[in-house]
């Protein structure tokens, strides 16, 4: 019998999940905060919320524009199906008045920003959507957080922002720049976390492969030598909170081990599920890289004090180059912004 639950991080990638541990001092710090989490219905956001819910004293508001995902998260923490908990609220980061109302009512001290559009092929076809959510939505959230006195802000980014070749990667890099720009000018603890694929997250390549194997369809692989970084959802959530506590620079880059060949992942999954689905090589998609990277220059990395996290600061000269771009972004003209992206 086909059993997708057999597909685990440990079995497919051959390594254990890194242990998660907060010191008593760290737990004390976290317990005094009021967290607002955007994109809380997603794989990473929901795991962060579940982790926070285990820490005594922590206050949190989990928000998402996807009512089904948010309801599922609510059910996982509270078996009542009434959705009557004050810890959950529908919120679209593209709705600035709605966000302003949320901030004025809840008054968070920490924002963890996990809301994003993340499918490369979709955003290549619809770059305006990437702008509205990944760029303008993030900008509004940062601006509102500063105005509301939020002292800590963590923007969850992606390895696709390193030397980006896709609309997704460029939109996330612009978001990183915007967060770091305000870290500099306002002298506040606003930072980004950059990491690769979260194993078997919703909409991930692992989920796609499982579905293709289940129905006996060909497994679509864009290139036989394509590689990607993977980490467990628990690792991503734990290290995001660790980055919040460390907060030493513009970007916190997570240790993800060696990049793995996707074809090796596929063959391992076939062995586990005992399937022999045909592998169909389709060719790299527009904007897709053969090999992702987490950073461009290892010599620029700074030790964070945690072996699983490195810190990267942008070259200060980049802000001189980007000053005009930041002014252009503030106009919120989609055509001008797309032109900017093409020139980026």
Instruction: Please report which residue ranges of 187-316 form alpha helices under DSSP H.
Output: 205-215, 233-246, 262-273
> At 1, is the secondary structure helix, strand, or coil?
coil
DSSP β-bridge partners for residue 89: 63
Please choose, from the candidates 32, 9, 35, the residue with its C-alpha nearest in 3D space to the C-alpha of residue 114. 35
Answer whether 39's CB lies under 8 Å from 62's CB: no
Reply yes or no on whether 50 is catalytic: no
Please choose, from the candidates 294, 291, 231, 234, the residue with its C-alpha nearest in 3D space to the C-alpha of residue 262. 291
DSSP 8-state assignment for residue 249: S
Distance between CA atoms of residues 279 and 220, nearest Å: 6
Answer whether 60's CB lies under 8 Å from 87's CB: yes
> At 60, is the secondary structure helix, strand, or coil?
strand
Can you point out the beta strands (E) in the chain?
34-38, 59-64, 88-90, 110-113, 152-156, 189-194, 197-198, 219-221, 227-228, 230-231, 251-254, 260-261, 279-281, 301-303, 309-312
Q: Which among 118, 160, 172, 310 is annotated as catalytic?
A: 160
210: exposed, middle or buried (Cβ count in 10 Å: 0-12, 13-18, 19+): middle
DSSP β-bridge partners for residue 279: 219
DSSP 8-state assignment for residue 307: T
Provide the annotated active-site residues.
160
């Amino acid at each position: 019998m086909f059993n997708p639950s057999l597909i685990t991080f440990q079995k497919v990638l051959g390594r254990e999940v890194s242990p998660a541990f907060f010191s008593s001092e760290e737990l004390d710090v976290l317990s005094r905060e009021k967290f607002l989490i955007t994109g809380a219905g997603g794989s990473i956001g929901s795991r962060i919320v579940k982790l926070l819910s285990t820490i005594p004293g922590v206050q949190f508001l989990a928000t998402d524009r996807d009512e089904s995902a948010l309801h599922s998260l609510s059910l996982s923490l509270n078996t009542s199906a009434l959705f009557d908990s004050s810890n959950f609220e529908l919120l679209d980061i593209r709705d600035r008045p709605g966000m302003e109302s949320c901030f004025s009512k809840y008054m968070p001290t920490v924002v963890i920003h996990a809301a994003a559009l993340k499918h490369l092929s979709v955003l290549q076809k619809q770059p305006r959507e990437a702008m509205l959510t990944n760029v303008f939505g993030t900008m509004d959230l940062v601006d509102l957080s500063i105005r509301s006195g939020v002292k800590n802000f963590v923007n969850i980014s992606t390895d696709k922002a390193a030397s980006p070749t896709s609309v997704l990667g460029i939109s996330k890099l612009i978001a990183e720049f915007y967060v770091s720009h305000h870290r500099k000018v306002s002298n506040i603890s606003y930072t980004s976390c950059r990491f690769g694929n979260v194993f078997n997250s919703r909409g991930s390549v692992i989920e796609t492969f499982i579905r293709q194997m289940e129905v006996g369809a060909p497994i679509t692989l864009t290139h036989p030598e394509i590689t990607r970084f993977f980490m467990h959802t628990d690792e991503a959530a734990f290290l995001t909170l660790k980055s919040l506590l460390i907060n030493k620079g513009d970007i916190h880059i997570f240790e993800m081990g060696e990049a793995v060949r996707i074809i090796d992942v596929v063959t391992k999954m076939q062995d586990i599920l005992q399937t022999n689905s045909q592998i169909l090589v389709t060719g790299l998609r527009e904007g897709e890289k053969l090999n992702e990277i987490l950073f461009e220059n290892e010599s620029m990395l700074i030790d964070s004090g945690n072996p699983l996290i490195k810190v990267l600061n942008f070259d200060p000269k980049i802000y001189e180059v980007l000053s005009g771009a930041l002014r252009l972004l503030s106009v919120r003209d989609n055509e001008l912004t797309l032109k900017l992206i093409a020139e980026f």
